[in-house]
Amino acid sequence: MTQPNRIPGGLIDRAQTFSFTFDGKPYRGHPGDTLASALLANGVRLMGRSFKYHRPRGPISAGSDEPNALVELRTGARQEPNTRATVVELFDGLSAQSQNRWPSLAFDALAINDRLSPFFAAGFYYKTFMWPAAFWEKIYEPIIRRAAGLGSLSRLPDPDIYDKGFLHCDVLIIGAGPAGLAAALTAGRSGARVILADEDFRMGGRLNAETHGVGGMAGADWAAQAVAELAGMPNVRVMARTTILGAFDHGIYGAVERVSDHLPVPAAGQPRQILWRIYARRAILAAGATERMIAFEDNDRPGIMLASAVRAYANRWGATAGRRVAVFTNNDDGLRTAEDLRASGVEIAAIIDSRKGEEVVGSRGRLGLRSVTVRGGSGKTRTVECEALAVSGGWNPNLHLTSHHRGRPVWDDTIAAFIPGPGGPGGLVAAGAAAGQLSTHAALRSGAAAAAAALADLGQTAAAFDLPEAEDAPVSITPKWHVAGKGRAWVDPQNDVTVKDVKLAHQEGFRSVEHLKRYTTLGMATDQGKAGNLLGLAVMAEMTGQTIAQTGTTIYRPPYTPVAMGALAGRSREKDFKPTRLTPSHKWAAEQGAEFVEVGMWLRAQWFPKPGETHWRQSVEREVLATRASVGICDVTTLGKIDIQGKDAGAFLDRVYANTFSTLPVGKVRYGLMLREDGMVMDDGTTARLAEDEWVMTTTTANAVPVFRHLEFCRQCLWPDMDVQMISTTEAWAQFSVAGPNARRLLEKVVDQDISDATFPYMACANITVCGGLRARLFRISFSGELAYEIAVPTRYGDAMICELMKAGEEFGAVPYGTESLGVMRVEKGHVAGNELNGQSTALNMGLGKMVSKKKDAIGMVLSQREGMVAEGGLRLVGVRPVDPAQPLTAGSHFIATGKPAVSAHDDGWLTSVVYSPHLGHSIALGYLKNGSARVGERMRAVNLLKKTDVEIEIVSPHFFDPEGERLRA
């Protein structure tokens, strides 16, 4: 297999040959090639189909600005759509497929769109598919989406891993061309901490693509030598294949390092890419410049390319798009391409210099350029046979990152382009071509100067940088944006935007640049307008009779180039999406076959199925009945525990709780209700007084952190004069609830002290020891309504403790129970939990109004007394039972009076929690009902329109079980 368009020279390793395929066809290339350079060397110019009209397209660029040569790379789960062939580093075995065509790239049936182009002008979808309205979502949109598209997804899970990381430096240098290298050498030699990042796999920027010498040697050699020197400096981090994707606040830059994209598959354990967050004290944008096209009729055929790209393919990759090449330019730079190609043995068919009155007015060649039509100054046209046309319309500085903080570029007439303006990200300056310094000498000089200035800014002294000798040609350009003509002249090839589309936008009044962009889609998609934005602006300026500067510019947003979603996710996917917190009895519970449920980051046992139980309710009913009949054990470690100490701890609790705590005797526990400043209930829980100045507060599992944060705010900001210290002890203690009539008999076997009802009554607490001397804490509190205790031991003994408790409970038939049984028992008892503590309910709503003490001030007191919140007839917590015990209730049902329609006007509240009570043998529920406390005994309906249920219910007390609380005091 030969490579017909491979020419001598270049920075590829011809000693090695790689095999690769494009659309299944095998080709050869070399290390150092990109997919695009290798395909061109193999004589392949046609690499894709355009977005809207499915026009045949080839690469126009040799870098990340490529809008046309988008391919699907790799196969199977690693298939990646919309990959720019111009930046894909060739590896052996690479497989690429063309996209957005059917059935093949050479014959694409959807190219019919091109014939129908009059129907698809800019904004067509605002006009064409208006009727019938119902067709849009179901018919038109799916068809348009299928026809106008990019690559496809594999729909398989991404097999690769992605890392994230953090880097710090004095100076971040973005781009390793002449300006970036000069900046890095200056800063690096001065001892500053430097990060030099470049998106390319070979550093050097245009030095690798030009034939100019630097410092008496080839530019590429000078670059390689500089990179080697920098790589040897311990204070410099050289990062190739790394794109700085955005400038964020306070000197933070996002970067994607492509660690393994140049390999068939990443090495074991290695990430595919790393998303770095770089903290830079100063940054230098040395991102170079992008050449632009001149619009003329049919200027999008494969083979029509930017002159700089044609030159880069020849000089860096030893590849040419054709053996006969014409050049169309409006500036001196285009002439370089002709010189370099001629030197490489490529025939120059013509040089068409618009400054001399010549222009290209058309082209021919269905799947690749065959000829161009040239109109001379006299108006006479001639045909020039050529396989490629190198077009130079001037250079646009790559100023994107400077506009990430809404910095507006400013127009520079001398180079006919926008350059970075004031007001960009603080600490970021542009240098070299990115700042409009277009000669090699100017780039080197401005890079070194930018580094010296950055160091001076940081109070560091820059080492002198001897500028190497380099070309310093002045820019000579006469702007030429588009060639007048009747046909379609392409402005933005990425989105198939033509000069006509821009004119149409103008004609229809979409003249502001922001409107132009949205009406025509100019500047959108993967290339972010790198190819066509300025051209579109120039055409609009011409239409409005304004200068380009007056017309304005859109500004660029991050990311600079497309970023894989996987890189943004990093390791936070699937089971690693968030950390997992395990309870002290987790291992034991797993051994018992427990089903677990996520509660925030915690995994809690939900129920413990026994052999033969086929439905979760069988397990839960067994656990509940066994606990109520004898004894059950539940891990309650997840509830927040906050250790509060200090002389003023009691007074502090009085201020954060609605009820009074300072009067609580040592050795006692009290249930507390905490309000938010707005008077709504924030959280509830018990707080125990272990010593005169030592308290332990418990919170709900969900609010452990918010409550702690709230208390810290109160302590540090509201009342800094109070003597209060606090720390979370949630994780320090493994805590188990032991509940049921036999709870005390069980614990007596474990606890070293007397815990009879007389010495340790309901709501008692104490520091005790267990199992012969282990320090522990015991609280006689009950959520289930049973005689119950919570026992806590240091967490490392939690696993041993659950085993010990179960062993001690064997003779009583003790069962472990999970969160479902916990829920059933608390509803039976009428205790509120998350469903009732929903952030929009008051103590009064919950039937706990009396707990809000009027004798003292506390957070939320004042606002809880607002008129609307204390109004008679407001929502009150009630119990609900179905009139027919066989009828199930459904959560979320609404209370509707009998005989009234189920509409919001008759909505009297809703069911908050619904369980099946094995004790009562039917469904029961808690709910918030308007004027609920006065409606006990009333019959009404629980209606759920979503689940289509309508059940006759009776309003009852929320205390279904042991309303007098005799059991828990037993």
Partner 1 sequence: MPDHSLKSVTPLGHDMPESVTVGPITIAEVTDIAMASVAARQGRIADVADAAQKIGVTLPEAGRHAAGTPCSAFWTGPEMWMVEAPFATHEDIVAALKPVFGDAASLTEQTDAWVRLRVSGADLPRLFERLCNVDLARSSAGDAIRTMIEHLGAFLLIRRPDEIDVISARSSAASLHHALAAAAKSAF
Q: Is 81 or 794 the residue whose CB approaches partner 1 more closely?
A: 794
- How far apart are alpha carbons 754 and 800 in whole angstroms? 22
Kindly report the backbone phi and psi dihedral angles of residue 316, in degrees, each rounded to the nearest multiple of 5, phi listed first: -95, -35
Which residue type is seen at 114?
Answer: D
Q: How is 478-491 classified by DSSP, letter by letter?
A: ----B---SS-BEE
Residues 961 and 785: beta-carbon distance below 8 Å: yes
Q: Is 214 or 644 the residue whose CB approaches partner 1 more closely?
A: 644
Q: What share of the chain is helix, strand, coil (3-state, %, to 5)?
A: 25, 30, 45
Q: CA distances (Å), 654 to each of 855, 859, 952, in order? A: 10, 9, 44
Q: Is 708 or 916 the residue whose CB approaches partner 1 more closely?
A: 708
Residues 864 and 843: beta-carbon distance below 8 Å: yes
Which residue type is seen at 299?
Answer: N
CB of residue 829 to partner 1, shortest distance in Å: 28
Residue 621 CB contacts under 8 Å (≥ 6 apart), including other chains? 916, 918
CB of residue 266 to partner 1, shortest distance in Å: 10
**H/E/C letters for each residue in 783-795?**
CCCCCEEEEEEEH
Nearest-CA neighbor of 765 among 872, 654, 689, 850?
Answer: 689
Q: Is 799 or 938 the residue whose CB approaches partner 1 more closely?
A: 799
User: For the stretch 465-478, what's the b/e string if a residue is b when 16 or more beta carbons lie within 10 angstroms of its beta carbon?
Assistant: beebebeeeebebe
CB of residue 275 to partner 1, shortest distance in Å: 11
Nearest-CA neighbor of 194 among 456, 454, 558?
Answer: 454
- How far apart are alpha carbons 667 and 687 in whole angstroms? 11
Nearest-CA neighbor of 32 among 89, 86, 88, 92?
Answer: 89
CB of residue 725 to partner 1, shortest distance in Å: 4
Q: Is 131 or 166 the residue whose CB approaches partner 1 more closely?
A: 166
CB of residue 652 to partner 1, shortest distance in Å: 12
Two tokens, residue 181: 């290298």
* Direct distance between the N- and C-terminal alpha carbons of the chain, in angstroms, rounded to an integer: 93
CB of residue 447 to partner 1, shortest distance in Å: 25
Nearest-CA neighbor of 563 among 82, 76, 98, 153?
Answer: 82
- How far apart are alpha carbons 605 and 589 in whole angstroms? 7
CB of residue 719 to partner 1, shortest distance in Å: 11
CB of residue 797 to partner 1, shortest distance in Å: 4
- How far apart are alpha carbons 108 and 613 in whole angstroms? 60
Residues 477 and 458: beta-carbon distance below 8 Å: no
Q: Is 481 or 797 the residue whose CB approaches partner 1 more closely?
A: 797
CB of residue 252 to partner 1, shortest distance in Å: 10
Please tell me whether residue 290 adopts helix, strand or coil conformation.
Answer: strand
Chain CA centroid to CA 25, Å: 37
Q: Is 446 or 637 the residue whose CB approaches partner 1 more closely?
A: 637
Q: Is 259 or 524 the residue whose CB approaches partner 1 more closely?
A: 259
CB of residue 280 to partner 1, shortest distance in Å: 12
Q: Is 256 or 419 the residue whose CB approaches partner 1 more closely?
A: 256
Q: Is 139 or 590 the residue whose CB approaches partner 1 more closely?
A: 590
Q: Is 184 or 444 the residue whose CB approaches partner 1 more closely?
A: 184
List the alpha helices (DSSP H) in 68-115: 112-115
CB of residue 285 to partner 1, shortest distance in Å: 23
Please tell me whether residue 461 adopts helix, strand or coil conformation.
Answer: coil
- How far apart are alpha carbons 788 and 792 in whole angstroms? 13
Q: Is 509 or 579 the residue whose CB approaches partner 1 more closely?
A: 579
Which residues in this chain contact partner 1 in the complex, by CB under 8 A?
161, 163-168, 193, 269-271, 274, 277, 279, 571-572, 576, 578-583, 586-587, 601-602, 637, 643, 645-647, 693-694, 721-723, 725, 727-733, 769-775, 793-801, 804
Two tokens, residue 864: 């809880």
Nearest-CA neighbor of 775 among 756, 787, 792, 762?
Answer: 792
- How far apart are alpha carbons 949 and 896 in whole angstroms? 12
Q: Is 86 or 273 the residue whose CB approaches partner 1 more closely?
A: 273
Strand (E) positions, 711-782?
Answer: 725-728, 733-739, 765-770, 774-779
CB of residue 582 to partner 1, shortest distance in Å: 6
CB of residue 254 to partner 1, shortest distance in Å: 14
- Whose structure tokens read 């580093």? 89
Two tokens, residue 682: 């924030």
Residues 623 and 608: beta-carbon distance below 8 Å: yes
Q: Is 544 or 572 the residue whose CB approaches partner 1 more closely?
A: 572
CB of residue 589 to partner 1, shortest distance in Å: 12
Residue 851 CB contacts under 8 Å (≥ 6 apart), including other chains? 658, 659, 673, 843
Please tell me whether residue 926 adopts helix, strand or coil conformation.
Answer: strand
Two tokens, residue 572: 């936070």
Q: Is 34 or 638 the residue whose CB approaches partner 1 more closely?
A: 638
Residues 679 and 865: beta-carbon distance below 8 Å: yes
CB of residue 644 to partner 1, shortest distance in Å: 9
Q: Is 21 or 645 the residue whose CB approaches partner 1 more closely?
A: 645
- How far apart are alpha carbons 238 and 184 in whole angstroms? 9
Q: Does residue 559 have a cis peptide bond before it, meaning omega lies within 30 degrees of 0?
A: yes
CB of residue 597 to partner 1, shortest distance in Å: 16
Q: Is 723 or 952 the residue whose CB approaches partner 1 more closely?
A: 723
Q: Is 193 or 689 the residue whose CB approaches partner 1 more closely?
A: 193
CB of residue 258 to partner 1, shortest distance in Å: 15
CB of residue 243 to partner 1, shortest distance in Å: 18
